Chains A and B, each alone.
Chain A
Amino acid sequence: MEIISKLSEDALKISLVGELDANGAINLDRIISKAIADGYYKIAVDCRQLEYISSAGLGVFISYISELKSHNGKFVFYHLRENVESVFNILGLQKVVAITHDFTQAKNQLHEV
């Protein structure tokens, strides 16, 4: 499940809740694709309540990295649980997306391009 809230003209916050598996990935893809179509290129992802993320879920974010970058945008993930952060790190995602500790840091990260 995802909860979306607008942060600014071009920034958006997506809160992920529960498990993000293959089915959830389809929905997430729809949300992000619509956000980008609406001109939101800076996306903060709140992972406080994210219990598990599958490779398909990661794939959704990965598929939009270059598109956001081309519009001077990015994903910033924050409040990652230990197991989720471990998945990010093992895959090496910290090299291509920003991972911060909390929302304030995430907002700062979003606006420094």
Chain B
Amino acid sequence: MKNPIAHSLSLTWLAGLITFGSFGVLMLFLAGCPAPAIAPNLPAISEAFFYLGTFFLVRQLFAGLRTFHTVEHLLQLSVLGLLTLVLLLLPGILLPEASATAAPSRWVLILQGLQSAFLVFYFTAGTVMVFQIISSQRPAASRKALLLLSSCLVALPVLQAAGLTYPLLNYVLFAVAGAAGLSLLFKVDWLVGLDKKLRKSTLFYLLALSFLSSIILLKTYFPESGYELPIHISQSSYVALSGFLTLGFSLISALFLLFHLPVAAILDIRDAEKKHLIEAGLEAEKTHDLHTLLYTLARQTRSSSSADAVWLARVNNEGPENQYPCVEGISTNDVKRIDYSLHAHPGHFQLDRAKDFLFIRDLDKDPVLGSHVLSIRSLAIYPFTLQDGSEWRLYLGFESPNGLNEHLAREVSHFVGHTRLSASHVCSLQEVAGKARLEKDIAIGREMQKRLLPKEFPLSKKTDIAAASISAEEIGGDYYDCHVMSDQSIAVLMADVSGKGTSAALHVAEMKGIFQSLMLSEPEPEKFLSLANRAVNQCFDKGMFITVLYAVIDLNKLELRYVRGGHCPLIHYNAKEHKIHTLQDDGLGLGIINGESFDKTLMSRTVKLHAGDIIVLYTDGIVESRNTDDFEEFGYERLRDCIYLNMELDSKSLNKKILREVQSFSNSSIRDDMSLMTIKIKANGQNKNQL
């Protein structure tokens, strides 16, 4: 006995045996022991009590067990059966032929008592075991049959004891119990689920029980001449029923198990294969690297299908040149030869619709592949597509011409499907990681762009300058700057680099250096733009350009000199005329054409300023901002109106007001960066007479 539970079980059985042995002997003495033994002179009530007592005692013994170990119980039942058989055989050995007819001695009576006790105990234990096994396997399905059988088993002796021996009633009860018992005999599904290790020992015990039960029944029905068993089995329906149930159940189960063994062996192999693949699948799920995952797939399918070669191909749909991240057990040349043939004869290797894999037997005889001398003679191909749209094939090569059985082929196919899911999961994880990286890039670009823009503007008694900017989801290339020069004039600049994203922000960074140094060295608008254009042509890629509006405000002369390099026209509110002007002069974006031909397009203009004048520089994000309903652009008209209606506001508030207006117009859908710089000429400047 290997474990404590089994140990305690056997102790329980032993205790039961001793109790029962003594109970049987006790019964003999109580009954006053008229020969021969318990029956027929024993009062029927005592006999009934004996059966029922046994039945409930055994049930109680079983119910008291915390766990039910079928094999251990079968062993104990076999031991009990063996003891019973020995007891039954004893008279034949011990008692001489002559003495059988003589009045039985006290020892013979005790032996007979023990025989009765063990016989009833053995069959009862067998019956209860059957109950236990069946109800532990199919508790619901067999409940009725079990209930019927046990009530008949109880009712029969009780009726007998009560003297209600109506033959018909007895027959009916017996028939019902027999039918219920018979229906239980064929409930063999508990054997199917048996563990591989227990299968053989179970078979052995079942065979032993069948053998023992049949000998015991033979002995009781056909006793040796001259010797009568104490219990008249032919008269006791209880013993008959429980005896035949024990025999029938063990015999049928043994036979079933015997025939089931070869099938079970095959199921075992399949279970092992499945387990192996499931484990591999779980292993594969742990990895977050696509190539490791696919590599694991290749390795595991090879080992579980006992393939001689395995390789993975990433399919190139435009030609036969696939990528092979994993090739094992075969030369890459063979792999390529096979793929070329597959590519050249797509019709020949078409997948069966019902299957998701292709198995080619006898490669030697294959009309297409047969022409190659290959190291493998059969081939399984599993195509699969990952979430990123990439197409893959898993190949398993076998040296035998019929390397893969149908069942295993399907198992591998399930595994491939499972791995495909894991791989798709990995793909989406990578996608998420990629997106996160991109978002980080964008955040860095936006941060950079923000840092490039001036935060403070020169405070002056004569001017009120402020700028504001709103970023679109994608980084734009807006840039503005303001610089106070030595002669107290102020240079302002608004620029927009073409394109979007981090590259636009990088170009802005480049241009900031150029613009700032040019503001110091060449503040004159035309010269400024001419040199800036040269720089842009040198620094920027072909097709990238930048629009610039550059203006110098001379506060002494109250003049604005500006030049427009393809940028949105400057808006000037003339306080003296109470009019708003859009100053759209000729001008070309920087980086479009080079050298002198660009310089020729430059045209600076001077505008007289007055106290109360407002100058607004902005980027196209503002005027091209569109309404989501009818796609109408915000346009210059609305911008001018907004400035005109809010001219009393200070520069900062005016900027805010304009941006709010644009956002409410476009329902807050920001397609492009929006930047804005407002310069107000204060009334307390030189020309106090204005405004």
Contacts and interface: CB of A to CB of B under 8 A. Distances in A.
Given A90-B568, A91-B589, 14 more contacts: A29-B543, A54-B672, A56-B498, A56-B500, A58-B498, A59-B543, A62-B591, A65-B593, A66-B593, A92-B566, A92-B592, A93-B588, A95-B586, A96-B592
Contacts of A22: 499-501
B543 A83 contact: no
B542 interface: yes
Contact of B545 (A51, A59, A64, A89): A59
B544 interface: yes
Given A63-B542, A91-B547, A92-B566, A56 B499 contact: yes
A55 interface: yes
Nearest to B569: A90
Contacts of B592: 62, 65, 91-93, 96
Interface string B543-557: 111010000000000
B601 interface: yes
Contacts of B633: 83
Interface string B646-679: 0000000000000000000000000010000000
15 contacts: A22-B500, A29-B543, A52-B624, A56-B500, A58-B498, A62-B543, A63-B541, A63-B542, A65-B593, A87-B620, A91-B547, A91-B592, A92-B566, A92-B592, A93-B588
B619 to A, nearest CB: 10
Interface of B is mostly: loop
A68 interface: no
Interface of B: 477, 496, 498-501, 541-545, 547, 565-569, 584, 586-589, 591-593, 601, 620, 624, 631, 633, 672
Given A22-B500, A55-B498, A91 B566 contact: yes
B547 to A, nearest CB: 6
Q: Looking at chain A, what size class is its interface with the partner chain?
A: 20 to 34
A83 B566 CA distance: 15
A60 interface: yes
Given A55-B496, A59-B499, A91 B588 contact: yes
Given A22-B500, A56-B498, A56-B500, A92 B589 contact: yes
B631 A95 contact: no
A93 B591 CA distance: 12
Interface string A25-49: 0000100000000000000000000
A34 B496 CA distance: 29
Contacts of A87: 620, 624
A83 B418 CA distance: 55
A83 B547 CA distance: 17
B601 A59 contact: no
Nearest to B632: A83
Contact of B543 (A54, A60, A95): A60
B499 A90 contact: no
Contacts, number: 71
Most buried by A among B496, B500, B592, B624: B592
Contacts of A89: 584
Contacts of B500: 22, 56
Given A62-B592, A90-B584, A95 B498 contact: no
A-B complex: 4 closest residue pairs judged by Cβ atoms: A63-B543, A92-B588, A55-B498, A59-B543
A62 B593 CA distance: 9
Contacts of A52: 624
Interface string A69-91: 00000000000000100010111
A30 B634 CA distance: 32
A92 B587 contact: yes
Nearest to A55: B498
Contacts of A66: 593
B69 to A, nearest CB: 71
A70 to B, nearest CB: 13
Contacts of B589: 62, 91-93
Most chain B beta-carbon neighbours within 10 Å: one of A66, A89, A95: A95
Nearest to B631: A51
Nearest to A59: B543
A47 to B, nearest CB: 16
Given A56-B498, A65-B592, A92 B601 contact: yes
Nearest to A92: B588
A43 to B, nearest CB: 15
Contacts of B624: 52, 83, 87
Interface string A88-112: 0111110110000000000000000
B544 A59 contact: yes
A55 B545 contact: yes
Contacts of B547: 90-91
Given A56-B499, A62-B543, A95 B569 contact: no
A52 B632 CA distance: 11
Nearest to B541: A63
Given A55-B545, A62-B543, A90 B567 contact: yes
Nearest to B587: A92
